[in-house]
Structure 1
């Protein structure tokens, strides 16, 4: 698909790893450049469900409520492992940021697309791909919407000029 689409990419072999922070270090890039892929189930009313492949930067948290609102759903949860792997076509930790199943809508947070290159496991834990972001958007044709949770304020951070005693 990448070759046929004329994409600019590199294949990176590394020790098997599926955790975003650790595989990012193995690949030699910042965690924010990792495409973290999560399969989410959204109930639409009582009888219908839709599935979303939510793709966010590796250093971000998915905002489930934003996904629910985007699809005008009534309930949202992470899909169970079996259903996620069936829809994604790969095992947990190796999910690609592409949807090849019409039942799985691809939604990407715009913050991931601000970087020139994104990284993701290539459907296996010991190989990754670095892909030019503009080629990713052209080939994947994702729905782009804000789905990243706001970072919580750090309750421990205190300005340097504040005396906290001691």
Structure 2
């Protein structure tokens, strides 16, 4: 099953309130927000990070508002590591089945821990994200996201 199929099956099985949109493929936050009719800050930016240090070697899917930048040292500390780097394209593909820009804020891989900055929940009633494909987006109720995603919360914004 593709990431898109896993995502929509999960949301449907959990009776989440969401809207699916098809649009021109783009991975740029500002462009896709304009297409969706949402603000850039409603976008859920998902970054695959490789964490090392303190005997830890782990991958994290760091999720934050798309108008913010991740502080990789905070991402590392959130899971007890010392340093973090962005994962390589082959690692991203293996862990998410997606290209950069299409990664939804959900993890479907046991090696990929989901860490979300609470600002995403506090600032929005709905979040928007690419749904595993650059040409499909989902706008999702933020309470349903919190209920369905089972994520760890940590301040990871610069």
Q: Which moved more, 1:84-93 or 1:97-106?
A: 84-93
Which one scores higher on RCO, CA 8 angstroms, separation ≥ 6? Answer: 2
Which of 98, 107, 112 lines up with 1:99 in the alignment?
107
CA shift, 1:71, in A, is: 1.9
Task: Please give the residue correspondences for 1:3-152 in structure 2 after superposition, counting only pairs within 5 Å.
Answer: 3-45=12-54, 48-114=56-122, 115-149=124-158
Q: Which runs of 4+ in 1 moved over 3 A?
A: none
CA distance in 1, matches of 2:54, 2:153: 24
TM-score, normalised with respect to structure 1: 0.85
| 1:119-146 Cα shifts (integer Å, max 9, x gaps) | 0011111110000000011111110111
CA distance in 1, matches of 2:30, 2:93: 21
Looking at secondary structure, tell me which structure has more helix per residue. Answer: 2
CA distance in 2, matches of 1:5, 1:106: 18
How much is the aligned-residue C-alpha RMSD, in angstroms?
1.1
CA distance in 1, matches of 2:26, 2:111: 28
CA distance in 2, matches of 1:146, 1:70: 8
TM-score, normalised with respect to structure 2: 0.90
CA shift, 1:75, in A, is: 2.3
SS of residue paired to 2:13: coil
Q: Runs of 5+ in structure 2 lacking a partner?
A: 1-9
| 1:23-68 Cα shifts (integer Å, max 9, x gaps) | 111111110000000000111346x410000001010000101011
CA contact (8 A) 1:44 1:50 kept: no
CA distance in 1, matches of 2:112, 2:86: 13
SS of residue paired to 2:63: strand
Kindly name which structure, 1 or 2, has the bigger radius of gyration based on alpha carbons.
Answer: 1
CA distance in 2, matches of 1:71, 1:121: 25
Q: Number of paired residues?
A: 148
